[in-house]
Amino acid sequence: MKIAFVLVAALLLGACQTDNLVTTRTDDPRPTSVNYVARPKGPQVAKGAVIFINGIDFRNRTHQYDDPTPDILQWFVRGGFDVYRLDLAPSDQSPAGRLFAATERAISDMRRQNYKRVYVVGQSAGGVAALISVSRERSIQSDGAIAIAVGGINAVESPQLNLWAHREIVDGIRTDRRAAVFHFRDDELLGRWHNEAVAISRARLDGRRNAMVRVPPGVTGHYAMDDAAFVKTYGACLAAFLAADDPDGSVCPP
């Protein structure tokens, strides 16, 4: 199972890249780093640590230090968390093993600081890394994951293979970890596989009190996480979902 899981992850996150993608890495010397979004309250005061992982550049050319901070992260700050960004250097963005290793280093760093809980929130490929962090197959795990705009990567051209990969990842989520999965309508990377990906997520997570699957109405596209309507509707409830001792997925709108 573990070998299959690694293969799935590698395929989903871009190990199978098309020939027209440029893979030359930048000379940017800055390393991957965990950077706080707002000045941390500290592990004795904060409700936990939230690590955010952005989508990645499959061309391995940009450093995530230069990416804007998503507005939704401020809701986790207001909710009492210390919020950090995992800013990935180009060399850690793909293949999949490097991204997962960087995620696990960040989780371990938060554990060493004695945070009560450690959560991973991610968009696109970062969302996949978030789900991997609550997988029963991983030796280093977070306490919960929020995965936004997941289920398809256009570097995997076969819809059957793409959906099989998504099923393997969702099936690997531990039942004692809280998880929220968001799919967006008209996701240009998911395309015609949208309904199948949603069905896979729901088959595994619907019915679990500590989990939710959402297809937000009124917002569309792969980058809908930045839509003001999405942030307003789901920001506060997702912070509450992570903060609760007994998480209930119904805290967020359907």
Of the candidates 236, 156, 213, the residue with the CA atom closest to the CA atom of residue 190: 156
Looking up tokens 């990645």 gives 56
Of the candidates 71, 85, 110, the residue with the CA atom closest to the CA atom of residue 33: 85
Question: pLDDT at position 235, please?
Answer: 98
For the chain, the domains span: 2-251
Selecting from 3.40.50.1820, 3.40.50.300, 3.40.50.2300, 3.20.20.70, what CATH number does the domain 2-251 have? 3.40.50.1820
Of the candidates 190, 131, 134, the residue with the CA atom closest to the CA atom of residue 162: 190
Of the candidates 63, 53, 127, the residue with the CA atom closest to the CA atom of residue 91: 63
The tens place of each residue's pLDDT in the chain, 254 residues long, gives 553 444 444 444 443 333 333 344 456 678 889 999 999 999 999 999 999 998 876 555 676 767 778 999 999 999 999 999 998 888 888 777 888 999 999 999 999 999 999 999 999 889 999 999 999 999 999 999 999 998 755 445 566 777 888 899 999 999 999 999 999 999 887 778 889 999 999 999 999 999 999 999 999 999 999 999 999 999 999 999 999 999 999 999 99
Q: What is the pTM of this model?
A: 0.88
CA distances from 41 to 59, 77, 155, 238, 243 (A): 36, 10, 40, 20, 15
Measured in whole angstroms, how far is the alpha carbon of residue 34 from the centre of its chain?
A: 15
> Is there a contact between 74 and 100 (Cβ–Cβ < 8 Å)?
no
